[in-house]
Amino acid sequence: MPETEVPPAPPNTVTAALARVEQQAVEVVDGGVAPKNLDEQLRVAKWAVESGLLPRDIKTVAAAWAVMQRGSELGFSPLGSFDMLYVVGGRVRMTPNAVKAKALASGQLEDAREEIIEGEGDNRKARVTVKRRGLPTAVSREFSMLDAKRAHLVKDGSAWTTYPDRMLLARARGFAYGDAFSDLCGGLQVRESFDLEPGEVLGAVEPTIKAATRTPPAEPDPLLAVLAPPQPVEFASHSEKEISAEPDFTKPPSEQPNPELVLEPEKAKGRKR
């Protein structure tokens, strides 16, 4: 029997499409990458993670993409988002310098003043005053060393012991600019990435999938009893009396045997099966 030629298999369109996507170049605008769709965003996020230049708390492509996407919504470049935003406990935050930069770029910052109020120990504090164009009054916020101790921020070897004035200004700046330009923050909390409170950890939260649980009702639903499947019927054994009689279809209904006729087990054995 002659051999028949097997036609070649059709090309894998999915694999081919992915190969074309990998070969496509991401557009560069003004010296920076400008991804136009989700595929290009994920490619840039993948390259950023593989570069090893991202913060240590950004470990996956998904986390990098989320920070880039949040930064894009706020007007930051894809890679610049990692300098302006960071993740604590699965929530994205903005640095005080980032919101200050956005305020300056918006043209709505009319005046600003940052100062350290002289004092010793707990009395030392920083004050930041921000005047937004169009608002009748300025926004002024303070933060002292006493506030830092109350929040359990001052620890041996931390920035609060080595650079206390910088930390006081960062806290006051975050409060002042965050309150005066909350619309430019996108609802994000403003704080330095190295200014963590007790219990806070940099990085995303590991996703967990929990099985769905359902609390049983206090009383059974009457509708479930109606919809419940019929229970199996138990028939009497030959040792008990039977309450059945076979109908005779050759006779009229009036001459049919009584269904409730009771037959003794001996008579039941003689019935035809």
pLDDT tens string 228-266: 666 666 655 544 444 445 666 666 666 665 554 444 445
How much is the pTM? 0.60
pLDDT given for residue 18 in this prediction: 47
- Phi and psi of 205, rounded to 5°? -85, 135
pLDDT digits (tens, 9 = 90+) for 123-149: 999 999 999 999 899 999 999 999 999
Residues 89 and 140 grouped into a single domain: no
Residues 69 and 197 grouped into a single domain: yes
Q: Which domain holds residue 82?
A: 24-95+193-205
Average pLDDT, the chain: 77
- Asked if the structure places residue 248 within a domain, the reply is no
How far is 45 from 67, CA to CA, in rounded Å? 9
Residues 84 and 54 grouped into a single domain: yes
For residues 68 and 81, is the Cβ–Cβ distance under 8 A?
A: yes
* One-letter identity of residue 129: T
Tokens of 61: 């492509």
Check residues 69 and 261 and name the one with the higher pLDDT: 69
- Asked if the structure places residue 261 within a domain, the reply is no
Number of domains in the chain: 2
Residues 169 and 135 grouped into a single domain: yes
